[in-house]
A and B are shown apart, each in its own frame.
Chain A
Amino acid sequence: MLELRLVQGSLLKKVLESIKELVNDANFDCSSTGFSLQAMDSSHVALVALLLRSEGFEHYRCDRNTSMGMNLNNMAKMLKCAGNDDIITIKADDGSDTVTFMFESPTQDKISDFEMKLMDIDSEHLGIPEAEYHAIVKMPSSEFARICKDLSSIGDTVVISITKEGVKFSTKGDIGTANIVCRQNTSVDKPEEATVIEMNEPVSLTFALRYMNSFTKATPLSNTVTISLSNELPVVVEYKIAEMGYVRFYLAPKIEEDEEDTKPQV
């Protein structure tokens, strides 16, 4: 038996809106520690990892570890039927092939339940080792979203370079080039408006902008975004989810600017 009750139901709505563009189908894993998901996009270039810790739910009952395969587009459609202030409860019986979403308005005068069929999804689960990053940038998420949107009107890829001067986002395309530099900026009134850069080693990596733009769909979840980079490793773009978890996006770097399209083989 699985029963999870989330008072701030809008969080789950925002989560779905933030990941459904990247991933079509995914397995949600439930254990005593929380509700989690790990899924790659169809080309295996990007990965999303979601965690909603059990303590963040008003009620969390999970008798056995279980995995539920869902089509995220369909799930988003269901969650759209919940009001922004509704309490959302997720229910599933052991071995069931459906999941039920229950939406309660704050005053309890309207209660809806939606039942969705589960899918059998055979997906690969990747082990993501704990990494020590060469550089970590924490900045306003709206600022990051704006940068990705602006640069994608100029070029297809972004070079993110971090030095002690700051973090630079660069792109170039048919019509020209663009560079945006954000310097460290901690003396602001509100902590969430600061840009904080921790750098052990200079980093410069190239990424496809269309994936970065997909990631910024998670902007409504958090005022700040944390970008962690190491040379030759995937970037991690992390949005915290209130006090209860996170959504992390991983993106493989491009090898070199003019690299051919062939896939490496082992």
Chain B
Amino acid sequence: MASAPSRTLTDFFQPASKRLKPTLPASCKSDDANASTLSVDQKLRMEYNKLLAKSKRNLKLCVERVSKSKESGLGGVKLEELLVEETWLEALPGELQKPYALTLSKFVESEISGGDGVIFPPTHLIFNALNSTPFHTVKAVILGQDPYHGPGQAMGLSFSVPEGIKVPSSLVNIFKELHQDLGCSIPTHGNLQKWAVQGVLLLNAVLTVRKHQANSHAKKGWEQFTDVVIKTISQKKEGVVFLLWGNSAREKSRLIDARKHHVLTAAHPSGLSANRGFFGCRHFSRTNQLLEQMGIDPIDWQL
């Protein structure tokens, strides 16, 4: 019955030099330099793994709640039960119990009751952006519009698709810009969870969509909720970098206090507009420069 611990020592200690036979003695100087470098890497890796474990736990909790409500045969799980990250519940007290949110919740529940696969993302992933990036870890925000509407694409993180799913053209363009900007290699998949865990909030303005009907859940109340999320970040935090791509995202800058935060704007990475101001925007390196100026660890954008 004993479960193995879920962490190993290689999460804490870095490999030292490969063993030689016979081993040549290392100089004290290189030992010291090595030790201090390892310490920094060690801390970063520790923090990342801790946050990754937390996001997995949040996901598991959502899955449990969804399956429990299905078993009970009652109506679908309420929206408020799907936001499980405590730091966001503290930052947004009572938000999902407000009248507009209850109306939104009823709407989403009735849409979901039309059957599995009609609404994206899957129910347990609706709040994945918040459940994967705790409030206190938010360093940057990338605002999308609404989830991908093809089967299997949406995973609750803006612009992101699970491994194994074809990378959508907007994301292809994002990777092209990232390559041009920071020299990152183009990944074989489009899962951006690694960004989310590091503190990049991948938020869509509208968190659900009907299959094959882009923006079909607009103006049902999601915008009011996500505006509150953005305003809360702006009011309660400092030094967050907002990456606003496209007109819809840019309009949200009215919610952000630009005296406290950094707002980067560009055209949308969609194929229709990427050449008119997204390519060449260098938002990834600029984000990291801003973070480093503030003494915050930069984002490792390489997937």
- Residues on A lying within 8 angstroms of B by beta carbon are 27, 29, 31, 40, 43-47, 64-67, 122-130, 156, 207-208, 210, 232-234, 250, 252-256, 259-266
Which residue of chain A has the shortest Cβ distance to B2 in the bound complex? A156
Query: Which are the 4 A-B pairs with shortest beta-carbon distances?
Result: A264-B49, A126-B13, A44-B8, A127-B16
Tell which of A27, A130, A233 touches B35, judged by Cβ atoms closer than 8 Å: A130
- Tell me whether B1 is interfacial, beta carbon within 8 Å: yes
- Inter-chain contact A266/B45, CB cutoff 8 Å: yes
- B293 interface contact, C-beta 8 A: no
- 5 additional A-B pairs beyond A67-B19, A252-B9, beta carbons within 8 Å, are A44-B9, A47-B9, A156-B1, A156-B2, A250-B9
Q: Which B residues are in CB contact (< 8 Å) with A126?
A: 9-10, 13-16
With a cutoff of 8 Å between Cβ atoms, the chain B residues found around residue A260 in the complex are 6, 56-57, 60
Closest to B31 in A: A127
Q: Which residues of chain B are near A40, meaning CB under 8 Å?
A: 9
Chain A residues closer than 8 Å to B22, beta-carbon distance? 64-67
How many of B's residues come within 8 Å of A, CB to CB? 40
Contact present for A264 and B13 (CB under 8 Å):
no
Note all chain A residues with C-beta closer than 8 A to B10: 44, 124, 126
Name A232's contact: one of B3, B9, B38, B50 (CB within 8 Å): B50
Interface residues of B in 62-94 (CB under 8 A from A): none
Identify B6's interface contact among A65, A210, A263, CB under 8 A: A263
When the two chains form their complex, are residues A125 and B60 in contact, meaning their CB atoms are under 8 A apart?
Answer: no
Q: Are B23 and A233 in contact (CB under 8 A)?
A: no
On whether the beta carbons of B60 and A264 are closer than 8 Å, the reply is no
Residues in A whose Cβ lies below 8 Å from that of B7 = 45, 252-255, 263-264
Q: Which residue of B lies closest to A121 (CB)?
A: B19
Residue B4 at the chain A interface, CB threshold 8 Å: yes
Could you say which residues of chain B place their CB within 8 Å of the CB of A64?
22
A45 and B21 contacting across the interface, CB-CB below 8 Å? no
Bound complex: CA A11 to CA B6 (Å): 34
Task: Report how far A261 CA is from B56 CA in the complex, Å.
Answer: 11
Q: Which residue on chain B has the smallest CB distance to residue A208? A: B5
CB closest residue in chain B, given A264: B49
Closest-by-CB residue of B relative to A64 is B22
Min CB distance A261 to B, Å, is 6
Given known A125-B17, A130-B35, A266-B48, contact A45–B4 (CB-CB < 8 A) = yes
A179, chain B: closest CB distance, angstroms: 20
User: Which residues of B are found within 8 Å of A250, using beta-carbon distances?
Assistant: 9, 13
B42 located at the interface, meaning its Cβ lies under 8 Å from any Cβ of chain A in the complex: yes
